[in-house]
Each structure stands twice: as C-alpha cells, then as structure tokens.
Structure 1
Amino acid sequence: MDYSAIIGGAAAGDTGVEHGVILIELAEAILDTDDARLETARLAVAERMGASALVDSVAVAALFNGIDRIADATGAPLEQTKADATVELRSEIGINAFGDQKEALEAAEGKSAAE
C-alpha cells in the first residue's frame, strides 16, 4: 500500500483515490489557519463531488479530530492488538517518532519562552 499521502500530503500527488488530490487539500486546509485556503478547498470539493460529499468529508475530518483529542485527553493507550497490527505502518510513516518530536518541540518552546 502507498502511504505517501499520509506523510507527504498534497505533495504526494495522485494517490489513486478518486478525488484524492482535492480531498487531501481539504484535509490540509482544515488543519491550516488560512481561511481563504479552506474556502477554496471547500468549493473545490463541492463543485467536483457535490454538497453531500463536502459535508461527509468535513464530518470525517471532525470525527477524527474529536477521537484523537479524546484519546489524548484521557491517556487512552493503544490496544496491543492494534499495536501488533500496525507495526509496519507505524514504521513506514514514522509515527513512532512523533512522541520524541513533540518533546523536542515543547523543550524548544520552553527554552524560547524563558529567553
């Protein structure tokens, strides 16, 4: 399976998913702070896929955001069966390094704030 869109985003190009390029752009725009980019992405999805697809797409993005926040806030551990099933995927996309990267960013922010 090609996971390049997970780590490469829109730069990954055509992933073989129908309307994948505009859906990736919508996902990135949702996480960005540029309102014009988000409006452009929403319009692209609505024009090419329809209003229902736009609603479904942003609902999925919101759901993933909510699930992630709840899991993080409660400290929910990754179940062992899911950990076992995703070893290769997590290695391939570099997700195992996220914790270390977060700690490094937090340390840098703390250092900057103290200076």
Structure 2
Amino acid sequence: MTGVEHGQALLAFASAVLGSDRAVVASARDALAAAMGPAAVTSAALTAGVFSLVDRAANGVGIPVEPMVMKPSADFRARYGIDEYPSARNSIR
C-alpha cells in the first residue's frame, strides 16, 4: 500500500518504463489506463521522460550532488554500487 490513490499502478508503470521488456511496459500501461484513464498514462510517461532528461542533462554538464544528499545516502549508494557509475565522479565527496 502506497498511501497514494492508484499508487500501485503508478509504481508498476514507473518500474516498467525503467526496464527493457516491452510486454511488461504494455501491461503496466494498460493497467494504469484502466485505473486512472489514458491522460494519466500520458502524464506518468511525460513525468518519467522529463526526469530522465533533467537527470542526464545535470550529469552531462557535471552538476554535483550536494553534500546534504551525499551523507545520508552513503549506505544506499554503497549497497547498490551507485558510486561506481561513471556519473558519480560529478558528485562532491
């Protein structure tokens, strides 16, 4: 339970668009449309796309992650190997 109306459908769609399985994306898209309507699918897809664009643009120009984010996320980054990503060199250490 997410505490957000239709949160599970939104999370499933967000997870699906991060992957490469088109069948999973189609299923999540259809489930989201059934739960919230086609406009919600458009909004969710645009939100995911814009986030990806902004994140990549920030990495591309070398905008660092601020220290107030780095310290509390150290365990998470280590657990998932995030500090090994090439863009991690842009982060303040």
Paired residues, number: 84
CA deviation profile, 1:19-78 (whole Å, cap 9, x unmatched):
111111101110111111100111111111011111111100001100111011111123
1:99 maps to which residue?
A: 83
Do structure 1's residue 63 and structure 2's residue 50 form an aligned pair?
A: yes
Q: Distance in 1 between matches of 2:16 and 2:61?
A: 27
**Corresponding residue of 1:20:** 7
Unaligned stretches of 5+ residues in structure 2? 87-93
Aligned to 2:30, what secondary structure does the other structure show?
A: helix
Residue equivalent to 2:41: 54
Identity of aligned pairs, percent? 32
1:36 partnered with 2:20: no
What is the CA RMSD across the aligned residues, in angstroms?
2.1
Q: Which runs of 4+ in 1 moved over 6 A?
A: none
Work out the CA distance in 2 between the residues paired with 1:26 and 1:43: 9
Question: Which structure has the highest helix share of the two?
Answer: 1
- TM-score where L is the length of structure 1: 0.62
**Residues of 2 paired with 1:86 and 1:52: CA distance?**
36
What TM-score comes out, normalization by structure 2 length?
A: 0.75
More RCO (CA 8 Å, sep 6+):
2
Gaps of 5+ in 1: 1-13, 104-115
